[in-house]
Structure 1
Amino acid sequence: MEIEFDTQQEAADFYRRLPSSFRQLNGVLQINNRLAVFPEKTADFKEFAQLITRYIIDLYEKKWIMEIIEKFYYFTDPEEQVAILNIVSAIFAGEKNDLPQIEVLKDRRETIMESLEGMLHEHHSFSFASIIRFRLTAYKEALRRFVEVAIDEYKLEQEYQVFVDKLRRIIRAYKPLCEKIEVYDEHPFRLYDDRHRLIRNMQSVRSFYPLLKQWGIEAEPSIVLSLIALAPKQVIVYTNRPDSGVMKTLHHVFEDRVCFVHSSLRMTSENRIMQ
């Protein structure tokens, strides 16, 4: 079969990207702006489709995603565009598997492969430009869906950041009520004051929630808001899950005021206090 490129340079670039083992096994030859390929087995056709897929993704995917972000969803600010692109890239890298809708989105590599495999078997000659123009409709639609999910995540991250910034301002605005609070990550959380007394009367904490409305915050009671109401200068959290969502929020809100300690060290602290 022959595949034609727009320029000799483009043909040479694609040729160089082919593994040498594939070039030798399938007798790949570059003739000006064309590549002659002689696959014999179904596996060879599939591998060639994979190589074209990788080439398309490497050369065009980022540009097309940015176009989708701007032309379909009207994000024109370069920083916002890059932020959304980074979320899409994280999704592709498997770093955002907990996001809604990810499981129902089709793998974009498989989408390209399905568009190519039949064509490679049926046509002895075709142009790379025809692939780009006519064969990738399903792939571009898949990209649009990934961008849509990424934009939803971006908006949630922005809302979360606004929420965290408000909580930080509250901490700075109110006078600390105690030096230190120790938090035991249990169900429910247990809080101790700087004399290691269990904080049982949370009435003053509950009365704090109406004040949050003055800051434009509508939130259910949580360990984060309880600690803000107590306004300690230092928070020590004994936990086995410092990377969990609630612990990350504590870190973002209290910044250098919070310290995470493994739960196994809690007994050491308690024994020291008893002595």
Structure 2
Amino acid sequence: MHIHFQSESEAIILKKLVSGHPYGAELHSHIHFSSDLKLIVRIKENNAEKMLSMLSDVFYSYLLKEKLSNVLEDIVTKKFFFQEREEVEAITDIAHSIIEGEKNKNKKSLFGGERAILEEGLRNILLEKDTFSFDSFATFRLKSFYGTLLHYAGLAIDEYKLEQDYQNFIASLRDMLNERQPKAGIIHLLHDNGFHFYNDKCMKMDKQEVYRLIDRKLMSEKNPFYIDSSVLAPLISIAPSSLHLYTNESEDGLIRTISRIFEERTVIKPLHTFSEQNGFA
């Protein structure tokens, strides 16, 4: 039986996978890689099951380790028409992360069924054909594989677009901040069952005082971004030279947003340090 590949690199990868398989040494003499990108397999009655098992394992490993990325990239460029290299790489990286997350959550591969499909397809081919193309075989037999990757590519694109919107949001608020004159040298912001503002003398600012400081232009309907009136709008309106942020949840979404907007102006400290440095009980 002759199995064709599209490139020399594909054939080299398959050769390495065959060599590393538990049956590789035993079946080595029955497998030959020719210079014209063919894998020549000699199947005999006494090695048929082992050969089938090995080829199924090897093709499955190749599918997940090598083809998955290529198929994702093809879907992103040909189905969703992204062409910028940076965008394509970002989306495929996100798709890989989503797939890996699903695998870890379910404690198993998302493509377990493909291993059985490969073996069944190879078994039929061994009975019927002397020659076939691996790519044609995979495309015809593994429609579920491509369908699953199409689904995850779509999720990755949605996540990528959300991230782009978020980055634009951060950049816009940062520009607003940098255009303003500071109304305070230091603001202390406590993140403890909500957010609490303290002035540079560490005296708590009540909600009415904080609200009065908001620049109404930030809340205008003409502003293309929604800015919440409880934290971001007051902070950007005050535009403190230094923001001391006390929290035990540095990975909280709003905490990360604030630190990205204020960048080097932000000093993040554990929550308990506010009480300690001000002698509170």
- 1:262–1:39: structure 2 CA closer, same or farther, 3 Å change rule? farther
Which residue of the other structure, out of 85, 88, 101, is the alignment partner of 1:81? Answer: 88
Which residue of the other structure, out of 246, 249, 270, is the alignment partner of 1:262? Answer: 270
1:113 counterpart SS class: helix
Greater shift in the superposed pair: 61-70 or 160-169: 61-70
CA contact (8 A) 1:108 1:139 kept: no
Aligned runs of 1:158-169 on 2, under 5 Å?
Answer: 158-169=164-175
Structure 2 spans left out of the alignment, 5+ residues:
none
Distance 1:150 1:11 in 2: 30
Greater shift in the superposed pair: 250-259 or 79-88: 79-88
1:29 maps to a residue whose letter is H
Partner of 1:124: 126
Q: State the TM-score, normalizing by the size of structure 2.
A: 0.79
CA contact (8 A) 2:121 2:141 kept: no
CA contact (8 A) 1:4 1:11 kept: no
Partner of 1:155: 161
Greater shift in the superposed pair: 50-59 or 231-240: 50-59
Distance 2:217 2:60 in 1: 54
Structure 1 spans left out of the alignment, 5+ residues:
98-102
1:62 maps to a residue whose letter is S
Greater shift in the superposed pair: 139-148 or 127-136: 127-136
The CA deviation at 1:50 is 3.8
Which residue of the other structure, out of 199, 213, 231, is the alignment partner of 1:193? Answer: 199
* Mapped pair 1:170 → 2:176: yes
- 1:39–1:197: structure 2 CA closer, same or farther, 3 Å change rule? farther
Partner of 2:231: 223
Distance 1:212 1:233 in 2: 25
- 1:20–1:149: structure 2 CA closer, same or farther, 3 Å change rule? closer
Distance 1:141 1:7 in 2: 22
2:174 counterpart SS class: helix
1:178 counterpart SS class: coil
- 1:7–1:152: structure 2 CA closer, same or farther, 3 Å change rule? closer
Distance 2:31 2:12 in 1: 7
- 1:214–1:177: structure 2 CA closer, same or farther, 3 Å change rule? farther
Which residue of the other structure, out of 215, 233, 238, is the alignment partner of 2:246? Answer: 238
Number of aligned positions between the proteins:
261
Distance 1:7 1:92 in 2: 26
- 1:235–1:12: structure 2 CA closer, same or farther, 3 Å change rule? closer
The CA deviation at 1:57 is 3.1
Partner of 1:135: 141
Q: Give per-residue Cα distances to partners, 1:215-270, cap 9 Å, x unaligned.
A: 42233334233311221111111111112211111111111111111123233212
Distance 1:254 1:144 in 2: 38
Q: Give per-residue Cα distances to partners, 1:157-194, cap 9 Å, x unaligned.
A: 11111111110011111111101111111112111110
CA contact (8 A) 1:166 1:215 kept: no
1:124 counterpart SS class: helix
- 1:111–1:156: structure 2 CA closer, same or farther, 3 Å change rule? farther
Partner of 2:69: 62
% same residue: 22
- 1:194–1:11: structure 2 CA closer, same or farther, 3 Å change rule? closer
1:77 maps to a residue whose letter is E
CA contact (8 A) 1:185 1:239 kept: yes
- 1:225–1:20: structure 2 CA closer, same or farther, 3 Å change rule? same
The CA deviation at 1:199 is 0.8
Distance 2:274 2:27 in 1: 65
- 1:213–1:20: structure 2 CA closer, same or farther, 3 Å change rule? same
Partner of 1:29: 30
Distance 2:6 2:149 in 1: 27
